[in-house]
């Protein structure tokens, strides 16, 4: 399963970090599809239905382009089949964020784009996965091992993701310097284009292909994204002219070339978007309990003898869980005095949004 990723690089950085090789072995810096830098928003906590950067053959957009020429595009996570007849893509009745490699040829939603060569590579700093414990789940951030230049983004070294950098076609191959920053995950995916039945803008969407987890990840989850490890695997997956679908599917294998570390439960809520989402934590260390928003409001009311404004419903503790389902956060009122409860001794700290 893959239900949450991080991709924090700005558009220009993504172009530098995703250089690819053509059939002759020459390396190129891909340009962005026109207008797509405005759709992409860097994030430490991307969930389905958000727009993510994907690398794909430019032939899908320009029939005169070489098949081995690649471009970057921003596509929405969660495949909407071209044959979908509703006017609203959000009315899809089933989840297409992931597709099992074993089912690609058995389901029309995935078989059609696969046989049409609509293969893409999803780019991400890494992905999150949750290990099931007795009463809760521990999130992990999973990524390619990094060289000295690539370090986990931190509050000190990387603040809010920037998205104001753009790249036009004229710049695409002028910067020949090698990328020394974070090594991006390159995830195999399929995409499709959907046009509203009544006409309108074409929506490009994708699905993440999953395989059985590699031995080093099986303790966390039994599935993992199908990774393409190295420029040659990326080229073969994207070159639908030279590498046919059945041959390309042989690339979809578990990869053991990943590392991971536990992260804060802050990432459980997809609305939380800060470097703390992917910073390493020690899961054995108990968190210091802090007063909750509710207890602060109650204390204020007791001190002023006048009730404060009612809490906005959007501020309730309903959170989007790691599997995309909304579940109310359980709160247990501890034994002890009212003053202890008001100070938050029995509540979990509410993440900042």
**Spatial separation of the C-alpha atoms in residues 294 and 300, rounded to whole Å:** 10
The SS3 of residue 193 is: strand
Question: How big is the CA angle at 324 (ends 323 and 328), to the nearest 5 degrees?
Answer: 95
Active site residue 2: yes
The SS3 of residue 19 is: coil
Nearest to 299 by CA among 268, 344, 262: 344
Map tokens 């987890």 to a residue: 213
**Spatial separation of the C-alpha atoms in residues 230 and 238, rounded to whole Å:** 13
Please, are residues 75 and 191 in contact by the beta-carbon 8 Å criterion?
A: yes
Catalytic residue among 7, 70, 120, 129: 129
Active site residue 129: yes
Catalytic residue among 2, 99, 120, 277: 2
Other Cβ atoms less than 10 A from the Cβ of 273: the count is: 21
Catalytic residues: 2, 129
């Amino acid at each position: 399963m893959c239900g949450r990723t991080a991709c924090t690089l700005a558009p220009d950085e993504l172009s530098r970090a995703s250089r690819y090789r053509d059939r002759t072995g020459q390396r190129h810096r891909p340009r962005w599809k026109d207008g797509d830098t405005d759709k992409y928003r860097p994030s430490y906590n991307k969930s389905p239905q958000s727009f993510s950067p994907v690398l794909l053959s430019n032939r899908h957009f320009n029939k005169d382009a070489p098949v081995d020429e690649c471009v970057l595009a921003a596509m929405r996570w969660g495949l909407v089949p071209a044959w979908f007849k509703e006017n609203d893509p959000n009315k899809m009745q089933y989840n297409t964020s992931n597709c099992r490699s074993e089912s690609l040829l058995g389901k029309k939603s995935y078989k059609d784009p696969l046989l049409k060569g609509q293969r893409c590579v999803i780019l991400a700093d890494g992905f999150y996965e949750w290990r099931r414990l007795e009463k809760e789940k521990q999130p992990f951030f999973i990524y390619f091992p990094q060289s000295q230049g690539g370090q986990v983004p931190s509050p000190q070294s990387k603040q809010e993701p920037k998205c104001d950098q753009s790249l036009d076609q004229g710049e695409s191959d002028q910067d020949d310097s090698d990328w020394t920053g974070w090594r991006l995950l390159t995830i195999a995916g399929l995409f499709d284009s959907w046009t509203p039945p009544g006409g309108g803008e074409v929506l490009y969407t994708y699905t993440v292909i999953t395989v059985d987890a590699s031995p080093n990840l099986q303790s966390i989850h039994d599935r993992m994204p199908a990774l393409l490890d190295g420029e040659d695997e990326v080229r073969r997956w994207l070159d639908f002219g030279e590498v046919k679908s059945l041959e390309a599917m042989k690339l979809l294998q578990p990869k053991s070339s990943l590392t991971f570390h536990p992260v804060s439960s802050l990432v459980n809520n997809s609305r939380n978007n800060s470097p703390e989402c992917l910073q390493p934590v020690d899961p054995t260390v108990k968190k210091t309990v802090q007063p909750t928003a509710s207890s602060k409001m109650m204390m204020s009311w007791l001190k002023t003898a006048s009730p404060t404004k009612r809490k906005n419903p959007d501020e309730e503790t309903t959170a989007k869980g790691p599997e995309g389902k909304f579940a109310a956060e359980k709160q247990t009122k501890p034994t002890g005095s009212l003053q202890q409860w008001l100070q938050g001794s029995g509540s979990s700290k509410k993440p900042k949004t």
